[in-house]
Chain A
Amino acid sequence: QKEVEQDPGPLSVPEGAIVSLNCTYSNSAFQYFMWYRQYSRKGPELLMYTYSSGNKEDGRFTAQVDKSSKYISLFIRDSQPSDSATYLCAMSARNNDMRFGAGTRLTVKP
């Protein structure tokens, strides 16, 4: 079993839809949780950063962490075609040794 599990998709939604992306993990020592967005042929770009459990909102993006269930989510409201990318969850016990999910490929259709 991988330390971090993420459904690779692909996921296709119409413009304006709410997108839900999820990861589960097995290492209870993880306490830093991140979501990265990666466009084709580019490096990952940090979207959201959360320490421990709780919710964090930034514009159209909301990150949720449930440490009791070892489950994290990223919600994208009012999705746009420009949101089409691969979304990677990442987590670490210490911030400089991250473990990544496989990435979910998202397509938002106009």
Chain B
Amino acid sequence: KAGVTQTPRYLIKTRGQQVTLSCSPISGHRSVSWYQQTPGQGLQFLFEYFSETQRNKGNFPGRFSGRQFSNSRSEMNVSTLELGDSALYLCASSKGTSGRETQYFGPGTRLLVL
């Protein structure tokens, strides 16, 4: 069974630009969650999508947005990039139908903002 895949794996952008990251969940998983990981703040929850609807949201500014498609693939967008947005962005998928499933992480997209 294929795992969670994320593209691109590495990305370099400059301040003020926008970026779109993509996540393909494990087949059969309908929930996709996004996390930001930095050395200073650790892993922080961004948002979760289930059946094309945002179900949970963390404490990030509106520059961070996402969406989910009918095939459960998800994209995350960050507009007006800031230096502090440099991080490893991880997505995780789960079946999403109850409160007891575990999440499986992808390898992440490493974003560097210059």
Q: Which residues of chain B are near A41, meaning CB under 8 Å?
A: 110
Q: Which residues of chain B are near A43, meaning CB under 8 Å?
A: 4, 90, 92, 105-108
Q: Which residues of chain A are near B4, meaning CB under 8 Å?
A: 43
Tell me if A65 counts as interface (CB < 8 A to partner B): no
The interface residues of chain B, by DSSP majority, are classed as strand
Tell me if B24 counts as interface (CB < 8 A to partner A): no
Alpha-carbon separation in the docked complex, A95 to B33 (Å): 11
Residue of chain B at shortest CB distance from A49: B102
What is the total number of residues of chain A having a CB less than 8 Å from a CB of chain B? Answer: 23
The listed residue (B44, B94, B106) touching A96 by CB distance below 8 A is: B94
Min CB distance, A5 to chain B, in Å?
A: 11
Instruction: In the complex, identify which listed stretch (A11-19, A66-74, A75-83, A97-105) lies at the interface while the others stay far away.
Output: A97-105
Chain A residues with CB under 8 Å of chain B are 32, 34, 36, 41-46, 49, 51, 88, 90, 94-103
